[in-house]
């Protein structure tokens, strides 16, 4: 039987020790299995006795690799989203803006370590942004002027617009998160605080609370996933063990049945020979009696084998039931993952697509427009005087209005069109392959659809209208160019009295 040489065992123990250091902290089951394997190697066991341990560790390493790939993908998406939002923030000092520009232009990174460093750097920029928004705005002075002013006068010119923008972004972030349990309830409470309005000093605390809750929610989801995978792995290991036992038992039964059949054939042949060679009835009777005893013994053995066979069939039936249950649990888990992935691109309040989905679809439609040249319209929709609804009827009424407007807009669009909630009370609509001479008509239809909805708050009918700014993509455009034109057209609609469509 093959065993390790001393040198091979030493190298194997060293390798497993390094593997344990590399994987430590990622998977409790993997850490435990590697530690047990290292202990076994100390006893210089035969190679064949390690097959089961190595198979389990190989499976866990595969799962670990898949989990790392998924973690890197999610982290990369979070970095991209955070980077896009950082670009729109104003007020950074020149050196910070220069560092931010270098950060945004830096390579994507390879492993999870690179991505974690980028997340930490991203959080540092956000921390600076929060401090900038909370501090009173001071004019930038030349160094020689600053030294002359030992007591600069304080200013109360707090940037209300930036404060409101951060609050809106935080609300949007919370609506896109899909954490259950205590984390989800805490985030919902924070969203209600943001809807009611918070003071500037409280904004920083709220940001920190949200970050902590996101980390906690992610940790809980990771634990849940690891627990499911660990349970699945244990079940598969148990099934594999039982299957091996059943296979060995089946082979043993097959061999025993074959031997029993051969023994029975020999006895029948012996009976034929006895009958042919014995002339005396008395001696023939004695010989036949001996053969019958042997046949009865063989029959008892066959009955015992039949009992073992029935036990084996019951065992196999139980294994089949376990496999069916594992299949159902895995299908349910896969279904939950699919739903979660779908929710990542849905606005949880309005149930239309969110900004992340908009970024993805806009890039896709833009590439189609570049390739085929078919007309593409981008429209930005804003609910008029939405703040008055919140102030006069409460934020629950505002949420209800957003839901109803979103559903009405979605129902009024074609199947090939796309709508997403951009943030707050704004929506973005993409109309691909639209008639370039008549694209105002479907937008007017959207405006009229919303205006005709019979809203009622506190038994009072309230007319809600929308303003729309739209543009067609033009030669040489990038997505930002069209977006800026549509945004300007929207502001023109508002400045001209609202409840209208303005085309750039």
**Distance of alpha carbon 279 from its chain centroid, rounded?**
88
Check residue 1 and give its pLDDT: 42
DSSP letters, 415-473, are TT-EEEEEETTEEEEEEET--TTSTHHHHHHHHHHHHTS-EEETTEEE---EEEEEEE-
DSSP SS3 for 353 = strand
170-195 confidence digits (pLDDT tens): 876 776 666 778 888 888 888 888 87
Confidence tier at 311 by pLDDT (50, 70, 90): confident
Q: Which of 474, 333, 451 is nearest to 384 (CA)?
A: 451
Q: Is the pLDDT of residue 145 over 50?
A: no
Going by pLDDT thresholds of 50, 70 and 90, the confidence category of residue 382 is very high
Question: Please, what's the b/e burial string for 475-496 (b: 16 or more CB within 10 A of its CB; e: otherwise)?
Answer: eebeeeebbebbbebbeebeee
Say what the pLDDT of residue 35 is.
77
Q: How far apart are CA 40 and CA 106, in angstroms?
A: 46
Pairwise CA distance, residues 52 & 237, whole Å: 9
Confidence at 421, pLDDT banded by 50, 70, 90: very high
Are 114 and 132 a contacting pair, CB within 8 Å? no
146 falls in which pLDDT band (50, 70, 90)? Answer: very low
- At residue 248, φ and ψ (nearest 5 deg) are -65, -40
Gap between the Cα atoms of 214 and 94, Å rounded: 31
Q: Which of 137-146, 189-198, 252-261, 391-400 has the lowest mean pLDDT?
A: 137-146
Query: Domain locations in the chain?
Result: 1-136, 160-344, 355-503
Q: Residue holding tokens 């691109």?
A: 345
What are 44-85's pLDDT values in tens digits? Answer: 677 667 777 777 877 777 777 777 777 777 777 777 776 766
Longest dimension (CA), the chain: 141
Does pLDDT of 246 surpass 90?
A: no
User: Residue 345 CB: number of other CB atoms within 10 A?
Assistant: 17
Q: What is the pLDDT of residues 447-491, one digit of tens each?
A: 999 999 988 887 778 889 999 999 999 999 999 999 999 999 999
Q: Which CATH class is domain 355-503?
A: alpha beta
Kindly report which listed range (142-151, 264-273, 358-367, 434-443) carries the lowest average pLDDT score.
Answer: 142-151
With b for 16 or more beta-carbon neighbours within 10 A and e for fewer, the 110-122 pattern comes to eeeebbeebeeeb
**Helix, strand, coil in percent for the chain, rounding step 5:** 70, 10, 20
Residue with tokens 């020689």: 144
Strand partners, 353: 346, 420
């Amino acid at each position: 039987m093959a065993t390790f040489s001393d040198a091979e065992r030493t190298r194997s123990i060293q390798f497993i020790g390094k593997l344990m250091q590399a994987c430590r902290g990622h998977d409790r089951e993997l850490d435990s299995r590697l530690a047990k394997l290292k202990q076994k190697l100390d006893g210089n066991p035969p190679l064949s006795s390690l097959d089961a341990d190595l198979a389990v560790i190989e499976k866990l390493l595969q799962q670990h690799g898949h989990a790392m790939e998924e973690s890197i993908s999610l982290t990369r998406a979070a970095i991209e989203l955070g980077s896009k939002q950082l670009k729109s923030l104003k007020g950074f000092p020149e050196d910070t803006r220069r560092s931010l520009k270098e950060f945004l232009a830096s390579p994507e990174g390879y492993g999870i370590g690179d991505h974690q460093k980028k997340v930490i750097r991203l959080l540092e920029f956000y921390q600076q942004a929060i401090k900038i928004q909370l501090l009173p705005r001071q004019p930038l002075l030349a160094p020689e002027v600053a030294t002359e002013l030992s007591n600069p006068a304080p200013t109360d010119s707090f940037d209300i617009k930036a404060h409101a923008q951060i609050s809106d972004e935080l609300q949007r972030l919370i609506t896109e998160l899909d954490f259950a349990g205590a984390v989800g309830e805490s985030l919902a409470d924070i969203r209600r605080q943001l809807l009611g309005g918070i003071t500037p000093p409280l904004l920083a605390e709220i940001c920190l609370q949200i970050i902590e809750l996101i980390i906690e929610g992610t940790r809980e989801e990771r634990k849940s996933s690891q627990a499911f995978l660990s349970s699945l792995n244990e079940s598969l290991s148990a099934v594999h063990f039982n299957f091996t036992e059943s296979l060995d038992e089946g082979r043993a039964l097959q061999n025993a049945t074959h031997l029993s059949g051969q023994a029975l054939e020999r006895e029948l042949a012996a009976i034929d020979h006895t009958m042919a060679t014995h002339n005396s009835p008395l001696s023939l009777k004695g010989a036949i009696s001996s053969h019958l005893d042997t046949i009865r013994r063989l029959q008892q053995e066959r009955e015992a084998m039949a009992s073992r066979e029935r036990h084996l069939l019951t065992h196999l039936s139980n294994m089949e039931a376990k496999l069916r249950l594992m299949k159902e649990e895995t299908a349910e888990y896969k279904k939950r993952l699919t739903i979660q992935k779908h929710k990542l691109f849905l606005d949880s309040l309005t149930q239309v697509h969110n900004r992340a989905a908009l970024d993805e679809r806009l890039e896709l439609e833009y590439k189609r427009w570049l390739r085929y040249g078919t007309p593409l319209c981008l429209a930005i929709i804003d609910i008029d005087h939405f703040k008055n609804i919140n102030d006069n009827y409460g934020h629950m009424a505002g949420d209800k209005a957003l839901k109803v407007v979103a559903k009405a807009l979605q129902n009024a669009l074609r199947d090939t069109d796309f709508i997403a909630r951009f943030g707050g009370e704004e929506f973005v609509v993409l109309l691909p392959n639209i008639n370039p001479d008549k694209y105002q008509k479907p937008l007017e239809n959207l405006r009229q659809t919303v205006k005709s909805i019979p809203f009622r708050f506190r038994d009072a009918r309230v007319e809600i209208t929308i303003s729309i700014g739209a543009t067609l993509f033009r030669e040489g455009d990038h997505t930002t160019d069209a977006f800026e034109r549509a945004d300007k057209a929207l502001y023109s609609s508002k400045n001209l009295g609202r409840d209208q469509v303005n085309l750039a």
